Structure formats: C-alpha cells, structure tokens
Structure 1
C-alpha cells in the first residue's frame, strides 16, 4: 500500500507537471489577455468538480482505454489511477503556476530582452528561474492532494491489497484501504491496529509536505529579499 501510494503520487505528478507549466507559460507569457479573461477562470472551475465525477469518467473512459490498448482483463491498476489523479491535480498546479509567473516583475523580462535574450530564453532562464519557489509549491501541493485522494482512485485502481507487479495490476493505496477496511475489522484487533498505523503514517506524510512548502516559501522570501 505504501509503494502503491508513492507510485501513484509520483506518476500523476510527472504527467501533470509539464502540462501545468506549459499551460501557465501560455496563459501568462504568450496570450496574457486570453489567459486572464478565459483560461484561468475555466481552470479554476475545474477545481470544484467532485471527486466521484473524476472517478466515474476514469472508470468508464480510462479503464476502458487500458483494456483496449494493453489487452488486459480488468484495466485497473496504478496507471489509470495516476492518469485520473493527474487530471484532478492539474487545475491546482496550473493555477498556482500562473500566479507564480505573474508575480515575476516585468522589469526582469524587460532587462533580459534589453540584454539581447530572445523571448523564449527570457522565459526559460529568467521567468521560470525567478518563479521557481512558487512552482515548487505548486508541485508539492499537487503531490499532497494526489497522496491523500481516496474516492476517485478507489474506483480505478482495483482495491487489491497486494504488492503491485506492474502498472496495470490491481492494487490499493493507504487511503483506499482505510476507507474500505476501517468498518470491517473489530476494534482492538491486529488488523484494526494496522489501519490506525496507516492513518498515522498518512498524517505524518501530510505534515512533511506542509513543512516542505514552508521551507520553500522561506527560501523564496530570502531570495526576493
């Protein structure tokens, strides 16, 4: 369950990160009017969609796609769970990335262009580097949500409490096991103690993510100072 939780979290972040950064660059640097009036409001609307909707779409679309493409029996596993999670964390990561790029002073861009940098060199070497603390915060927050998400993942990952052998073998994360097993085992049993230990581990990981965000924020504040 620990291996599956980290595998889903890392894979979903790797899928969503380039899309979020690319979308933020487009909305801020390439088409700022379109980004502020149309793109960002649409992205923010996606954050209000319930998890069960993502789970239903993932079960009927992503799982079906896994069956047809990889010719597996169930189509459930880490890969469809990571794809669904990537779609879920994408609005959060994109919104925070957009805010981070907009916070970069225009004088940085103007100074870079005055020194002879091209537009893309300015974006890559100046804007993204200046916004790196905000972008790292977006990544960590996306990973935090991916690590703690339950319902949508439960619908597409399979719910089998076993060590995954591939990205398309049914498995279970810490959160899905807690939601499905907490009311099954008797209080005081060994299985119940294991579930409480998993809950403590989940809380500890959340605290670690929060501490990382604070450290990144402090380093960003020192760099700006």
Structure 2
C-alpha cells in the first residue's frame, strides 16, 4: 500500500510539474511575442509619424522645388534642400572612402599579419573607440583639426567637408574594422592552404583568395558604416559650418540633413511648413537607412545560399 501511494504521489507530482512547466513555457512564448510585436509597432509608428508630417510639406511646396532648389530661407517661405541632401551624400562618400579603406586594411592586418599581443591591443583600442561620445570627436575636430586646416589653408575658415570627413571617417572605423576582421577570419583555412600549395605568397593569398571570399562581409561592414555616417549629427555639426549653401570645395562651410534638422528644430512651430520640411528631411534619412538595411539583408541571403 505504501509503495502504491508513493508511486501515485510521484505521478501526481510529475503531472503538476508538467502543467506548471507548460504554463511557464506558454507564458514566456507569448511574452516574447508581445515584446517582438511591440518593437515592430514602435518602429512602424516612428516611420508613419515622421513620414505623415513630412508629406504635409508638399501642400505648400512642389516636390521638385523641395528637392532641387538650393535656396533655404524659412523666413521667406523658401525650403529647398538641395544643399542638405547633397552635403549628406558627399560627406558620406568621403567618409566611407577614407574610413572604409583604412578600416579594411586594419582588419587585414589584425586578422592575418598582427602578432597576438598587438591584435589584442588593437581590439581593446577599437572597443574604446566605440565608447567615445560623438561630442568628444566633434570637440577634438573643433579644437585641433579646424585650426590646423585654417593654418594650412589661410584663406579658408577651417570648416567644411574636409574636417567633417576626417572626423566621420575616424568614427566609422570600429564598425568597418570589427565586421571586416570577423569576416576575414571566418574564411575557410583550406582556401589559404590550397593557395600556399600552389606557390602563392602570403600577401598574394590574402588579396587574391581571402579577400574575395570575405567580400560579402566587408560590403556589409561598409554599408553599416554608411548608415552610421548618414545619421551622425553632433560631431558633424561642430565642424561642417552649418551654412545652407551648395559648395564645390572641401574647405567651404556647408550643411547636411541631420545638422539642418538639429539647427532648425528649436526655432519652428510644430505643424508649420518649416516644421513639415524638417520632418520630410528626416523621412529621407529614414528611407535611405531602410534601403541600406534591405541591401544588407540581400547580401546576407546570397551569402547563405
């Protein structure tokens, strides 16, 4: 009798435990689903809110005039953002050209040439890079790079694309280096061994075999760095000059979409044409960021396949 009662007790206890575990599992599943849906809702709400307010600007301004005019004067009711998006595009390309090339070369050295101790020091430095606030980069640019440019080019103010590109290229280095280094290190070692067996040197192997195999990851790093460069505000604002004008020199003050939004958002009334113009500028940035993310997804899918 005692054995039967003990067995029944064990069975009932297992059943209760199974029921509790099932409830906990289902609860966690629905909680995680709720968190995922909440995240999607927040992102969608931001996109809808910003774009909805931005589209209202076209009730007062034509689409062509808004994007192709270089005259920005809210007091006169003129809202042409050619200088803004052109400045953003040029600055991003300059930063990617400098920071992308330097970052990939650093990643190659870390992954294939650097001794272990130097590699660890470089990884530590990259971690520090990530943690430095953007305002610190901007302050260094304002107090070091801008005066230096002014000394080298006495006719310039020191502000413009050049100091902004230098600062921005430094800021995107951690993104390019870390992702590129991981991609290069993940290349199958058998590729290198086969290259060495054919008589190739280490440099030839790295640039002819390893880099092409790691190219999808490197492209992903470059695109993510572009997204970072597009959205950077504070550091750029401190060194670019913040003048809404189309320039043809790296040493003339100009402006970008992000800095333009920051400079004007405290001066306009919500719901006004000025405010809606800033919302449309933010919408442009959002659409470009989404496009870059979609490109990354496409590259990743092709890499997997």
TM-score, normalised to structure 2, is 0.71
In the TM superposition, residue 175 of structure 1 has moved relative to its aligned partner by: 0.4
1:152-163 counterparts in 2 under 5 A? 152-163=235-246
- Residues 126 and 174 in structure 2, CA contact (< 8 A), matched pair in contact too: yes
Q: Deviation of residue 78 (structure 1)?
A: 1.0
**Aligned equivalents of 2:187, 2:119: Cα separation in 1:** 16
Measured in 2, the distance between the counterparts of 1:12 and 1:77 equals 13
Most deviating of 126-135 and 39-48: 39-48
Q: Which residue number corresponds to residue 57 of structure 1?
A: 140
Among 161, 166, 175, the alignment partner of 1:83 is 166
Q: Does 1:213 align with 2:301?
A: no
Contact 1:44 1:95 (C-alpha < 8 Å) held by counterparts: no
* Cα distance in 2 for residues equivalent to 1:62 and 1:14: 19
Q: Does 1:183 align with 2:274?
A: no
1:182: how far off?
1.2
CA apart distance, 1:43: 1.2
Equivalent positions of 1:63-102 (< 5 A) are 63-102=146-185
Q: How far does residue 62 in structure 1 lie from its aligned partner after superposition?
A: 0.9
Report the secondary structure of 2:131's partner residue: coil
Q: Deviations over 1:127-162 (max 9, x none)?
A: 000000000011001111011100000000011112
Q: Deviations over 1:19-74 (max 9, x none)?
A: 11111111111125135422112212211100000000001111011101121342
Judge conservation of contact 1:12–1:85 (CA < 8 Å) in 2.
Answer: yes
Aligned match for 2:233, one of 135, 143, 150: 150
Structure 2 residue aligned with 1:34, among 117, 130, 143?
A: 117
The separation in 2 between residues aligned to 1:214 and 1:187, in whole angstroms, is 36
**Distance in 1 between the 2:279 and 2:104 partners?**
37
* 1:112 corresponds to: 195
Matching of residue 167 in structure 1 with residue 272 in structure 2: no
SS at match of 1:162: coil
| Matched-pair contact (CA < 8 Å) for 1:9–1:143 | yes
Q: Who wins on radius of gyration, i.e. which is larger? A: 2
SS of residue in 2 equivalent to 1:131: helix
Q: 2:252 and 2:190 mapped to 1: Cα distance? A: 51
Q: What runs of 5+ residues in structure 2 fail to find an aligned partner?
A: 1-83
Contact 1:63 1:156 in 2 (8 A): yes
Misfit runs of 4+, over 3 Å = none
Cα distance between partner residues in 2 of 1:17 and 1:212: 17
Question: Residue 25 of structure 1 contacts residue 98 of structure 1 at CA under 8 Å; is this kept in 2?
Answer: yes
Secondary structure, counterpart of 1:117 in structure 2? coil
Partner of 1:13: 96
Instruction: Note the residue ranges of structure 1 that are not aligned, 5 or more in a row.
Output: none
Is 212-221 or 27-36 further displaced after alignment? 27-36
Root-mean-square deviation over aligned CA pairs: 1.2
Asked if residue 24 in structure 1 is aligned to residue 107 in structure 2, the reply is: yes
Corresponding residue of 1:196: 279
Mapping for residues 126-141 of structure 1, pairs under 5 Å: 126-141=209-224
TM-score, scaled to structure 1: 0.95
